[in-house]
Amino acid sequence: MGQTVFIPRELDANEPRVAASPDTVKRLASLGLDIIVESGAGTASRIPDEEFAKAGAAIGKVGDAAKADVVLKVRCPTDAELKGYKSGAAVIAIMDPYGNDSAVAALARAGVTAFSMEFMPRITRAQSMDVLSSQANLAGYQAVIDAAAEYDRALPMMMTAAGTVPAAKAFIMGVGVAGLQAIATARRLGAVVTATDVRPAVKEQVQSLGAKFLAVEDEEFKAAETAGGYAKEMSKEYQAKQAALTAEHIAKQDIVITTALIPGRPAPKLVSAAMVASMKPGSVIVDLAVERGGNVEGAVSGKVVTTANGVKIVGHLNVPGRVAASASLLYARNLFAFLETLVDKATKTLAIKRDDELVKATMLTDGGKVVHPAFAKATVDPHVEPAAIPATTMVADASVKKAAPKKTADKKAATGKSAAKPKGIA
């Protein structure tokens, strides 16, 4: 018998995804691995046990984890799950280690070699393993679908004999993978879309999708991207200027979708209570960062909140999981692509090369120790997560009335009357 890969059913009630698909089961079998899928693991993702069995997997039970050399999961295993894993097993999942030092320490105590898929480097070789991109892409799509479901009007402009229905105005805050898909989806549904981000490189991407770009384009803006392609945390001065620029814009929007996340930090507050109060009744805000503290004041994890002025703030948890059937297929392929690099093709056994750049970037624990440099002290010095950027800073003096003078200058920039100025709408 070859080495065994175990795919369990996720225990989290909010997690319908599964870490394998019939396609990846076939591919894993072709590597010489034996696959056991826990009964019911794929039910919530529309993959019945029979489909896994046809692809070559054995349908097992929780106790089968004890003989697994590799465990593929969606979420970080619980303490109870870890007790059922054998020491030395490779556990690959979205570990979400920031602020979860006890979970990281538990992985080390269990003696497993744990890999955190969200730390996969964004390099050409690892594109097929990028779980953040595959899942964020679906989250951006679903955010627009959720917004449309809560919005009680049509999104596209409709010209009828009875009159014209105006197109909905959608504003996307944060133009990463999720934001770009949100733009594309909102445009396909007929909305008039604008978007903002602190990274200058996304300006052309936004425009290529048919949306307008909104940002304060000063010198700080030009250097507002990390080497890894993520947004940098901006200065308080820039945050205030950006807030002033967006405050009036938000007041005119029908739909706002926020996607801003900074790795290792709580989500920055982008939309204040005052901004929410300035929006029209029936407007919808979807906060995709709600699980990391939220971009919107008043957002509540797992709930749709209706404010006093009739604005709905959508805070659904695990948005990729709301399209679990699609999300699982993509996530399973991400896992297979990574696991394939860890298997020796000649011996058909797990052969982890600890000097490989992918391994070094993603390995959290190994040999009973926390080995990732960002969490190596987790068992000694608990990680203290920094406070979120307060909304009072992000929206300093950015009420609608105070932002009015700014609007005039921005309009000139937008129309080209003041092309030499670095601020405004592109």
Q: How confident is the model at residue 415 (pLDDT cuts 50, 70, 90)?
A: very low
pLDDT mean across residues, the chain: 87
The pLDDT value recorded for residue 200 is 81
Domain assignment present for residue 391? The answer is no
Write phi, then psi, for 4 (nearest 5 degrees). -110, 135
CA distance 356 to 344: 14
Asked whether the beta carbons of 56 and 22 are under 8 A apart, the reply is no
pTM of the model: 0.84
Same domain, 76 and 181: no
CA torsion 83-88-94-97 (nearest 10°) is 80
Same domain, 198 and 286: yes
CA distance 32 to 90: 16
The pLDDT value recorded for residue 396 is 34
The whole-number average pLDDT for the span 305-333 is 97
Give residue-wise pLDDT tens across range 32-57: 999 999 999 999 999 999 999 999 99
The pLDDT value recorded for residue 398 is 36
Last residue of a domain, one of 370, 386, 408: 370
Q: Within the chain, what is the greatest distance between any pair of CA atoms?
A: 74
For residue 424, the tally of other CB atoms under 10 A from its CB is 22
Q: How confident is the model at residue 199 (pLDDT cuts 50, 70, 90)?
A: confident
Q: How confident is the model at residue 232 (pLDDT cuts 50, 70, 90)?
A: low
- Catalytic machinery residues: 122, 127, 130, 133, 230
Same domain, 351 and 296: no
Same domain, 315 and 352: no
Token readout for 61 is 């039970």
Domain assignment present for residue 293? The answer is yes
CA distance 297 to 269: 7
Q: For residue 91, is pLDDT > 80?
A: yes
Q: For residue 154, is pLDDT > 50?
A: yes
Domain assignment present for residue 230? The answer is yes
Same domain, 144 and 114: no
Domain assignment present for residue 111? The answer is yes
Same domain, 169 and 278: yes
> Which domain covers residue 18, as residue numbers?
4-119+342-370
C-alpha distances (whole Å) from 304 to each of 18, 298, 316 are 26, 10, 7
Same domain, 157 and 96: no
Least confident of 84-93, 228-237, 378-387, 402-411: 402-411
The pLDDT value recorded for residue 81 is 97
Q: How confident is the model at residue 220 (pLDDT cuts 50, 70, 90)?
A: low
The pLDDT value recorded for residue 228 is 59
Domain assignment present for residue 225? The answer is yes
Least confident of 81-85, 124-128, 171-175, 394-398: 394-398
Same domain, 155 and 248: yes
Write phi, then psi, for 38 (nearest 5 degrees). -65, 140
Give residue-wise pLDDT tens across range 361-370: 999 999 999 9
Domain assignment present for residue 406? The answer is yes
* Total domains, the chain: 2
Same domain, 161 and 297: yes
Domain assignment present for residue 18? The answer is yes
Same domain, 270 and 366: no
> What residues are paired with 158 via a beta bridge?
165
Token readout for 279 is 């929006």
The whole-number average pLDDT for the span 275-304 is 96
The pLDDT value recorded for residue 227 is 58
In the chain, the percentage of residues whose pLDDT exceeds 70 is 84
Domain assignment present for residue 295? The answer is yes
Same domain, 303 and 346: no
Same domain, 21 and 84: yes
- Residue 95 sits in a domain whose CATH number is 3.40.50.720
The pLDDT value recorded for residue 402 is 40
First to last CA, the chain: 61
Give residue-wise pLDDT tens across range 94-149: 999 988 899 999 999 999 999 999 999 999 999 999 999 999 999 999 999 999 99
Q: For residue 13, is pLDDT > 60?
A: yes
The pLDDT value recorded for residue 397 is 33
Q: How confident is the model at residue 245 (pLDDT cuts 50, 70, 90)?
A: confident
Q: Which residues 6+ apart lie within 8 Å of 354 measured at CB?
A: 360, 363, 366
Asked whether the beta carbons of 294 and 302 are under 8 A apart, the reply is no
